């Protein structure tokens, strides 16, 4: 089995990065994490990646100022040098230009802490609680120029408790993120996902008929 070469882009501690690295250690996982790259020097996830034996580099965004594409071209050079096949965004706190997104069309995925298309953007847990939703969660999706709007690969849900705070709800959602991001990468890297009319189709298996009802009667 030829494993797909994966780069993870981070800006902070990289908890989802760690989940991907752990999953990719399995011999039958169809991808290998070969690079972790941060736009912030000293990001916590860089040292964690090195401790796991993975190359970690920094391409700082700050020196490029408002020239976003120049920064992304510097990142692209690093990715091309290492023959990267797939890119995973894991807490990468930069809006990407259409130019960069196009370079990785169908090959770059992101995780978002909400059940898209609801709650695109920031402060998802606060907004979910303010709306009184009973089910919340996380989504892994392909990246397109529109923020948090790409084809959905995998979603995971949690129940919302009456006494939840943004922190307590976010902690449960993060646990779901760590489960579904490796699953999504496995599906994409193995060729299990096709995109038809902007919608992801699973070419191998179908979803189980489990349901999640909240609150339970």
Catalytic residues: 112
Q: Is 163 annotated to bind ligand? A: no
Site of tokens 């401790």: 51
Q: Is 5 annotated to bind ligand? A: no
d(CA 168, CA 172): 7
Instruction: Encode 140-169: b = buried (16+ Cβ within 10 Å), e = exposed.
Output: bbbbbeeebbbbbbbbbbbbbeeebeeeeb
Q: Is 93 annotated to bind ligand? A: yes
d(CA 68, CA 65): 7
Rg value, the chain, Cα:
17
Site of tokens 């402060």: 123
Q: Is 16 annotated to bind ligand? A: yes
Q: Is 4 annotated to bind ligand? A: no
Q: Which residues are annotated as part of the binding site?
A: 14-16, 68, 93-96, 110
């Amino acid at each position: 089995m030829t494993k797909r070469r994966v780069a993870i882009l981070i800006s902070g501690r990289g908890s989802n990065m760690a989940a991907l690295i752990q999953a990719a250690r399995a011999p039958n996982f169809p991808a290998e994490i070969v690079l972790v790259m941060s736009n912030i020097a000293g990001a916590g996830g860089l040292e964690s990646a090195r401790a796991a034996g993975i190359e970690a580099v920094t391409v700082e965004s700050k020196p490029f100022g408002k020239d976003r594409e120049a920064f992304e071209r510097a990142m692209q050079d690093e990715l091309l040098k290492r023959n990267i096949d797939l890119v995973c965004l894991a807490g990468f706190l930069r809006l990407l230009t259409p130019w960069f997104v196009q370079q990785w069309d169908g090959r770059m995925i992101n995780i978002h802490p909400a059940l898209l298309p609801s709650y695109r953007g920031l402060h998802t847990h606060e907004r979910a609680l303010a709306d009184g939703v009973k089910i919340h969660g996380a989504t892994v999706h392909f990246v397109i120029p529109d923020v948090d709007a790409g084809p959905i690969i995998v979603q995971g849900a949690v129940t919302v408790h009456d006494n939840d705070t943004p922190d307590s709800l976010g902690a449960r959602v993060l646990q779901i993120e760590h489960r579904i991001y490796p699953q999504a990468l496995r599906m994409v890297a193995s060729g299990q996902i096709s995109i038809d009319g902007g919608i992801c189709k699973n070419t191998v298996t179908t979803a189980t008929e489990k349901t999640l009802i909240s609150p339970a009667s």
